[in-house]
């Protein structure tokens, strides 16, 4: 699917589901990583992650477009367009639009290193992803001194 086809699909969904015209532009954005799409407040564009088409079916794409239209139409009308606003929640419910999209990428832990700390008194181990300053912390069980194992 290319941008022209996406534009036609978006215009059709806006007309059929929301009964309002979409007079701006819908485009694919390869730089989106974790989100299925986004609505740009500044220029009213709707950007869609092309991974949605590769990883999921057309219904997921339509759901993301309907979700972004919730932001779009409410923002144009001057109503509450943010995720926590009642207007937004009500519009999503009325149009049967999803609140969230399916995951597009696995969260990778390959760059995170596991640091192991141990108490000198009770030998309790503290595995952590983030480093900690052993001079500032004590053991939570016995208040003993902590040192780094690896």
Does the pLDDT of residue 57 top 90, yes or no? no
| CA 150 distance to own-chain centroid | 34
With cut-offs at 50, 70 and 90, classify the pLDDT of residue 101.
Answer: confident
26 pLDDT above the threshold of 90: yes
Please choose, from the candidates 147, 101, 94, the residue with its C-alpha nearest in 3D space to the C-alpha of residue 124: 147
Stretch 105-115: mean pLDDT? 69
**Residue 100: which pLDDT band, with cuts at 50, 70 and 90?**
confident
Residue 73 and residue 130 in one domain = no
Q: Where are the alpha helices (DSSP H) in 78-123?
A: 86-94
Give yes or no: residues 124 and 72 share one domain.
Answer: no
66 shares a domain with 12: yes
- What is the number of domains present in the chain? 2
Same domain, 69 and 119: no
**56, 87: one domain:** yes
Q: What is the CATH number of the domain that holds 89?
A: 3.30.2010.10
Whether residues 124 and 58 share a domain: the answer is no
Mean pLDDT in the chain? 90
SS3 147: strand
Residue 144 in domain:
yes
Instruction: Say how far apart CA 39 and CA 70 lie, in whole Å.
Output: 9
Look at residue 108 and tell me if it is in a domain.
no
Alpha carbon 87 to its chain's center: 20
Averaged over 75-104, what is the pLDDT? 91
**Does residue 81 carry a pLDDT above 80?**
yes
pLDDT at 150: 76
Domain that holds residue 13: 3-94
Are residues 74 and 141 part of one domain?
no
- Tell me if 85 is assigned to some domain: yes
Q: What is the predicted pLDDT for the residue at 111?
A: 63
- Rounded Cα distance between 52 and 29, Å, is 11
- Does residue 30 belong to any structural domain of this protein? yes
Return the active site residues. 68
pLDDT at res. 34:
84
Q: How much of the chain exceeds pLDDT 70, in percent?
A: 95
pLDDT the model gives residue 110: 60
DSSP 8-state class, residue 4: H
Are 90 and 119 in the same domain?
Answer: no
* pLDDT over threshold 90, residue 82: yes
**Mean pLDDT along residues 95-123:** 81
Instruction: Tell me which residue of 62, 24, 32, 64 sits closest to 49, measured CA to CA.
Output: 32
């Amino acid at each position: 699917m290319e941008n022209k086809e996406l534009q036609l699909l978006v215009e059709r969904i806006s007309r059929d589901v929301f009964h309002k015209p979409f007079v701006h532009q819908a485009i694919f954005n390869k730089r989106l990583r974790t989100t299925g799409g986004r609505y740009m407040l500044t220029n009213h564009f709707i950007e869609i992650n092309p991974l949605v088409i590769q990883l999921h079916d057309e219904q997921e794409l339509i759901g993301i477009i309907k979700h972004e239209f919730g932001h779009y139409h409410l923002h144009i009308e001057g109503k509450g367009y943010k995720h926590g606003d009642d207007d937004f929640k009500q519009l999503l419910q009325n149009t049967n639009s999803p609140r969230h999209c399916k995951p597009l990428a696995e969260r990778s832990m390959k760059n995170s290193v596991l640091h192991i700390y141990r108490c000198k008194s009770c030998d309790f181990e503290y595995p952590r992803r983030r480093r900690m300053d052993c001079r500032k912390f004590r053991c939570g069980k016995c208040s003993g001194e902590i040192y780094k194992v690896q």
